[in-house]
Amino acid sequence: MSWRRLREPAPTQDPKDWPERGLDRQVAVALRYDAHDHAPRLVAKGRGEVAKAILTLAETHGVPITKDPDLASLLQQLHLQQEIPPELYRVIAELLVFLYQLNAEYRP
C-alpha cells in the first residue's frame, strides 16, 4: 500500500456506517516525538485497512507497538501533526516508560 493511499480519506466519514462496513474493527495511531517539539505529535491514524497498513509499516521498520484501544480512540480525535494535549500527558508518559523499557531490553 502506498503512502498516497494511506492519506486518502476513508470511503465513509460517518462513524455510524463503520460497523456495517467493517471499518471499526481495527484502529491504529502513530506518534512521533522530536527534541524541538513540546509534546509527541500524531503522525498517522486510521481504521480498517489504513490501520493495518500503519501496523505493517511499524513492524517493517522495527517501531514498537502497544495495544491500547481506549488510548487509540482518544488519539483518533486529534488532527494529524497535532501535539498531544496536556490531558493525555500522563497516559503518554506511561507509554514512553514502556518504550524505554523495551529499548533497554534490546540494547546489545
**Structural domain boundaries of the chain?**
3-106
| The pLDDT of residue 11 | 47
The residue written with cell numbers 480512540 in the block is: 73
3-state secondary structure of 14: coil
Q: pLDDT at position 67, please? A: 85
Residue 84 above 80 pLDDT? yes
Sign, CA dihedral 11-13-17-21, equals positive
Q: Report pLDDT for 88.
A: 87
Beta-carbon contacts of 23 under 8 Å, excluding residues fewer than 6 positions away, are 10, 11, 12, 17, 47, 48
Lowest mean pLDDT, pick from 5-9, 19-23, 43-47, 51-55 = 5-9
Given pLDDT bands bounded at 50, 70 and 90, which one contains residue 1? very low
Contacts of 22-26 spanning 24+ positions with Cβ under 8 A: 22/48, 23/47, 23/48, 24/48, 26/51, 26/52, 26/55
Give the tens place of pLDDT for each residue, 18-31: 555 555 578 999 99
Section 68-73 average pLDDT? 85
CA 60 – CA 97 distance, rounded (Å)? 22
Q: Three cell numbers at 60?
A: 517493517
Q: Rounded to 5 degrees, what are φ and ψ at 22?
A: 75, 15
pLDDT of residue 106: 66
Q: Say if domain 3-106 classifies as CATH 3.40.1690.10.
A: yes
Confidence of residue 73 (pLDDT cuts 50, 70, 90): confident
Give pTM, 2 decimals.
0.66
